[in-house]
Amino acid sequence: MGLLLRFLGLDGLPRSTRLSLAVAYGSSVAMVMGVSLLYPVLPAMVDQLQVEEAEVALVIIVFTAPAIILAPLFGFLSDFYGRRRLLISSLFIFGGAGAAVGLAPSFEWVLTFRLLQGVAWSALSPLTIVLIGDLLEDRREISGQGLKVIIDRVAIISLPVLGGLLALISWRFPFFIYLLFVPLAILAIPWMPETCRAERPQRRLYFGGIVKAMSQPRLLSAFSAGFFRFFLDYGFFTFFPLYLSASHGVSPFESGLLLSFFGVGAILSASQVGRLVQWVDRGRLLVGAFLVDAICLLIWPSLDSFLLWAITLLAYGLANGIISPIQKNLLTQSAPMQLRGGVVSVDRMFQQIGKSSAPATLALVFFLGGFSPVFWTLGILSVASVLFATAFLALGLKRRP
């Protein structure tokens, strides 16, 4: 573990900080596990619960839907009442409700417990990023957000395999894995301090501060980067396997293997982004990463071999591993600690809009013109994200005294 922290530029942290970060990263795994663990479990639920495919999709929908409204609310509450109690209670509910799904006597109870688990997930959503920003500063915070990206990518790759293996026994078994977050909640009691110690702000001053903070160019850059990153990712990863299958006869297994190149690229760049910002301004890194995204998306329809697809996805992953931690760093370091939960929750709203609008928008583009215009549209939007980031960052430089 010490070698990994040294490799990431996080060596020398006090033991108390390392323990607090362990809780934050464990909570980040909960964010990924809420959905990724269950993708291969859904077919088993269809067979064993005797429900329709359209019905079993509700297992995902009732879990993610509450975050659209509740994530901003919980972000504000974390600024008013502190992070610690919200984190601990959310981990208890997330783990307990998730495990209760495995004991549910009917599909209606499955949805009820998943809805409750989704409420807890909505609270954990802004907290995981905010806590890393509270516990670390400046370059170390970028490295810390980079480690979060690495942990999330490893979880995304490994959790579906675990869920699929357990589902071979019963659809119920994967849900019992969520019980692991109950001991994490217990460990958080001594390990996680209250990181937001400021006096409770007045509501009018607080929300006025949120609005004022959101007008900062660096935060505007962070919001636009978050929106475009998730729009590009959700759009690309929705259509690239369909494109490869329809145009080149690529199997689902080969598509999954190609996705691993994206994961490897993101892990590699995220592990070193803290060191990169010592040599290159983080704004320029953000702009450069989006340019790489644009090139990858624009050339994608012209590629016709597994090797070229793999190289392109590796490059796309390398760019993604730079964008994600820098975007989170811009969020947390551009807002005062007492406003951080609210600012991050606003960013979650922009991200959710990007996630939700990408498949529908690109489905219309596909209907009108086929696969190539889909990737060209994504490439053009990536160029647009470069223009937005450049404009906001340049505006920030002009405003400096």
Question: Radius of gyration (Cα) for the chain, nearest Å?
Answer: 21
* Both structure tokens of 152: 């999330």
If you average pLDDT over residues 26-36, what whole number do you get?
88
CATH number for region 2-195: 1.20.1250.20
186 or 204, higher pLDDT:
186
238 or 317, higher pLDDT:
317
Q: Per mean pLDDT, which of 158-167, 209-218, 297-306, 390-399 is the most reliable?
A: 297-306
Residue ranges per structural domain of the chain: 2-195, 208-399
If you average pLDDT over residues 215-242, what whole number do you get?
80
Q: Are 371 and 235 in contact (CB under 8 A)?
A: no
**Would you state the pLDDT for residue 392?**
67
**Would you state the pLDDT for residue 199?**
60
**Would you state the pLDDT for residue 211?**
77
Q: Per mean pLDDT, which of 123-132, 160-169, 185-194 is the most reliable?
A: 185-194
**Would you state the pLDDT for residue 244?**
83
Which tens digit of pLDDT belongs to each residue from 302-341? 998 999 999 999 999 999 889 888 888 887 777 777 777 7
Check: CATH 3.40.50.720 for 208-399? no
pLDDT greater than 50 at residue 398: no
* Both structure tokens of 297: 């998306």
Q: Which long-range contacts (CB under 8 A, 24 or more apart) does 395-399 make?
A: 395/217, 396/216, 396/217, 396/218, 396/221, 399/217
CA distance 121 to 114: 10
Q: Per mean pLDDT, which of 72-76, 77-81, 210-214, 377-381 is the most reliable?
A: 377-381
pLDDT greater than 80 at residue 7: no
* Cβ atoms within 10 Å, residue 363: 14
Segment (H or E) for 16: helix 15-36
pLDDT greater than 50 at residue 375: yes
CA distance 283 to 342: 23
The 3-state DSSP class for residue 153 equals: helix
Residue 47, classified by CB atoms within 10 Å of its CB into exposed (0-12), middle (13-18) or buried (19+), is exposed
Which tens digit of pLDDT belongs to each residue from 267-287? 888 888 878 888 888 778 888
Residue whose tokens read 């070698």: 3
* Residues in the chain, total: 401
Segment (H or E) for 96: helix 84-101
* Cβ atoms within 10 Å, residue 369: 12
If you average pLDDT over residues 21-28, what whole number do you get?
92
pLDDT confidence bin for 397, thresholds 50/70/90: very low
CA distance 345 to 120: 14
Pick the closest to residue 48 from 176, 175, 167, 179 (CA basis). Answer: 167
Q: Which residues contact 186 (CB under 8 A, 6 or more apart)?
A: none
Q: What is the mean pLDDT of the chain?
A: 83
pLDDT confidence bin for 1, thresholds 50/70/90: low
**Would you state the pLDDT for residue 393?**
62
Dihedral sign computed on CA atoms, order 274, 280, 284, 285? negative
Amino acid type, 373: P
Pick the closest to residue 322 from 385, 275, 378, 387 (CA basis). Answer: 275
pLDDT greater than 50 at residue 368: yes
Q: How many helices (H) and strands (E) does the chain have?
A: 18, 0
What is the percent of the chain where pLDDT is above 90?
23
**Would you state the pLDDT for residue 54?**
64
Residue whose tokens read 């619960």: 49
**Would you state the pLDDT for residue 157?**
77
Q: Are 90 and 355 in contact (CB under 8 A)?
A: no
If you average pLDDT over residues 78-105, what whole number do you get?
92
- How many angstroms from the chain centroid is the CA of residue 179? 22
**Would you state the pLDDT for residue 4?**
63
pLDDT greater than 80 at residue 197: no
* Both structure tokens of 239: 């259509």
CA distance 250 to 119: 38
Angle between helices 15-36 and 138-167 (to 10 degrees): 40
**Would you state the pLDDT for residue 248?**
87
Q: Which residues contact 232 (CB under 8 A, 6 or more apart)?
A: 293, 297, 358, 378, 381, 382, 385
If you average pLDDT over residues 233-257, what whole number do you get?
77
Which segments of 168-216 does DSSP mark as H helices, in order? Answer: 173-176, 181-191, 203-214
* Both structure tokens of 220: 């505007």
* Both structure tokens of 314: 């590796």
211 or 374, higher pLDDT:
374
**Would you state the pLDDT for residue 253?**
67
Phi, psi of 57 (to 5 degrees): -60, -20
pLDDT greater than 50 at residue 401: no
Which segments of 136-251 does DSSP mark as H helices, in order? Answer: 138-167, 173-176, 181-191, 203-214, 217-248
Amino acid type, 115: L
Range of weakest confidence among 92-101, 250-259, 310-319, 387-396? 387-396
If you average pLDDT over residues 165-182, what whole number do you get?
91
Q: Do domains 2-195 and 208-399 have the same CATH topology?
A: yes
